Chains A and B, each alone.
Chain A
Amino acid sequence: MTVAQSLLEKTKQALEQAKRIDQHYHYFNTFCDDLALQQTGKPGILADVFVTIKDNICVKNVETTAGSAILRGYKPPFHATAVERLLQAGAIPLGKTAMDEFGFGSYNTNVGKGFRVPKHPSSPEYVTGGSSGGAAGIAAKATFPHVALCESTGGSIVAPASFCGVIGYCPTYGRVSRYGLLDYASSLDKIGVIGKDLILMAKTMNIIAGHDPHDSTSSTRPVQNYPAAIGATIKGVNIGYIPAFFDGADPEVARECRHALKQLEAKGATLQAIDLPLTQQHSLSAYYLLAMSEASTNLAKYCGIRYGGTDKLEGYFDQFFTHIRTGLLGDEAKRRIILGTFARMAGYRDAYYLQAAKVRTKIIEEYKRAFADVDVIATPTMPFPAPKLADVNKLSPLQNYLADVNTVGPNLAGLPHMTVPVGSAKMMPVGLMLTSSWFDETILFTLASHVEAR
């Protein structure tokens, strides 16, 4: 066999494995065999690295649905910038991973009409977490070299990564271009990575991060060297932990996280208790009000004319739009659009939308003050380990939202944050979340490498 043939063989095997896994676990919405084979053998830093792409990130000519029936059949005529960069670096994309519809969920149970709920990699009756459930699941299960490209708005990278026992990294807002990312909330969406291999994830970050003139909010700051940070010393690194989030967590979860922090202390980091009262009390409400307001405008474009799910052209335009949207959007999508519309309606806008934006300012100020004292903030990623699907189905929408209480803070403030697996609770993985200051990202890779090396 030639080198080229053996590489193609590897790709075929990876695809086969992914499809086998998918049959049981439902981690994929689409496979892109053709593109995978095309990319095989291309040189680059990510040559021989297989990637999966969350289904709200555009891959040219590959069905991109954001997990929604209203985008069934949509094939973008362009790549997202992050995808373009991965391909240029030689990465081999296998398929589009499952997610909550448009990112609207913390358990990946709010899938769109006709989509499947992904299952926890260790136990099929449990959920993966969301909204990047498919990404976290395949990252846990795959045995080939793999990084999952995914996205976070309120915690959608670290939540499923934590539940599934893998590493999840969400960079600073604006670090990675959002061009080609189907918008949930434009001021909150961030592209990041999930995987088991920290070095691969670091290499991937170096490839996808950096300014993009197509995205006005993308940062012009120079990109740090992520791989170089791995294994660096943590002597003198100041970690601030928030007791309230430990006390509010499942005791086993809290225990595992405390233990991990103690081990970091043994390696030279210092620990101190800190308090972020505004963030603790109000980040959830500020996040949801802003996210839903923005989402309700971002999703207005889905109306059956230019792309996606549609029907025969009947009735006046308002009737047609209503027919399409009502028929193809899932319950949670409708709820968030309606609540978001409400929050910005005349008469409510000041009390809800604008107020949430002002509270965000206060929360950002609170974080700034915290980072004057500490380098990194630590909390459990999720207050509990992955629950059973049957239990999640009993939850009210509000109870669903409450799962985000630990993760919304950094997401709202646009801070880089990472979850690292630190043990288990009730036989399910536990994650420790580390948050650093804006654009001060490599320290998280350093800390993560020390957590791994325990």
Chain B
Amino acid sequence: MNDAIRRAATNARIALTEEEVERFSKQAEDILKAFAGLKSLDTRGEEPSIQPIPCENVMREDLPRECLTQEDALSNTPHKKDGYFKGPRVM
């Protein structure tokens, strides 16, 4: 479980201390053990319910709507330059 937790944490961009890895793994084990009954239920032939109420063919026409102004789009961050968002380096 420790390895799985580490992988999941890395995947989710969350750094865990070793102590946290231990603690989270133990908690995860407890939780998954409590949920074990679910795994052994026979669900062959069942469709997964992605929503509780079927939602079909909801679409919109290809018509334009008002956009945010550049100012509004950038209003919630200090990281901006010349109308662009500034992000951390990628290369």
Contacts and interface: CB of A to CB of B under 8 A. Distances in A.
A/B touching: CB–CB < 8 A = yes
24 contacts: A172-B53, A173-B51, A217-B53, A281-B37, A282-B41, A284-B34, A285-B35, A305-B88, A313-B86, A317-B87, A317-B90, A326-B15, A338-B8, A338-B9, A338-B14, A338-B28, A341-B9, A342-B5, A342-B7, A345-B11, A358-B46, A360-B49, A361-B47, A415-B52
Interface in B11-61: 11-16, 24, 27-28, 30-31, 34-35, 37-39, 41, 43, 46-53, 55, 58, 60
Nearest to B59: A216
Please report whether the interface of chain A is mostly helix, strand, loop or mixed according to DSSP. Answer: helix
Interface of B: 4-5, 7-9, 11-16, 24, 27-28, 30-31, 34-35, 37-39, 41, 43, 46-53, 55, 58, 60, 68, 72-73, 75-79, 85-90
Interface of A: 73-75, 77, 172-174, 187-188, 213, 216-217, 219, 281-282, 284-286, 288-289, 296, 300, 303, 305-308, 310, 313-323, 325-326, 329, 334-335, 337-339, 341-342, 345, 348, 351-352, 354-362, 364, 396-398, 401, 412-415, 438
A322 B13 CA distance: 5
B76 A341 contact: no
Nearest to A173: B52
A398 B27 CA distance: 7
Contact of A317 (B38, B53, B89): B89
A115 B85 CA distance: 29
A342 B73 CA distance: 33
B87 A313 contact: yes
Contacts, number: 171
Given A282-B41, A323-B15, 16 more contacts: A77-B73, A187-B52, A213-B60, A284-B35, A296-B12, A313-B87, A317-B89, A326-B14, A334-B16, A337-B12, A345-B4, A357-B50, A362-B43, A364-B49, A397-B27, A401-B31
B30 A318 contact: no
> Which of B34, B72, B86 has the most chain A CB atoms closer than 10 A to its own CB?
B34
Contacts of A217: 51, 53, 55, 58
Given A310-B77, A316-B89, A355-B43, A174 B12 contact: no
Given A305-B77, A338-B24, A289 B35 contact: yes
B50 A319 contact: no
A288 B48 contact: no
Contact of B76 (A188, A307, A314, A355): A307
Contacts of A438: 53
A357 to B, nearest CB: 3
Contact of B15 (A75, A187, A322): A322
A322 B52 contact: no
Contacts of A342: 4-5, 7-8, 28
Nearest to B28: A339
A186 to B, nearest CB: 8
Contacts of A314: 88
B30 A396 contact: yes
Contacts of B28: 338-339, 342
Contacts of B27: 335, 396-398
A360 B12 contact: no
B46 A308 contact: no
A187 B79 CA distance: 33
Contacts of A310: 77-79
Contacts of B30: 396-398
* Nearest 7 CB-CB pairings of A with B: A414-B52, A357-B48, A285-B35, A307-B76, A358-B43, A320-B88, A358-B46
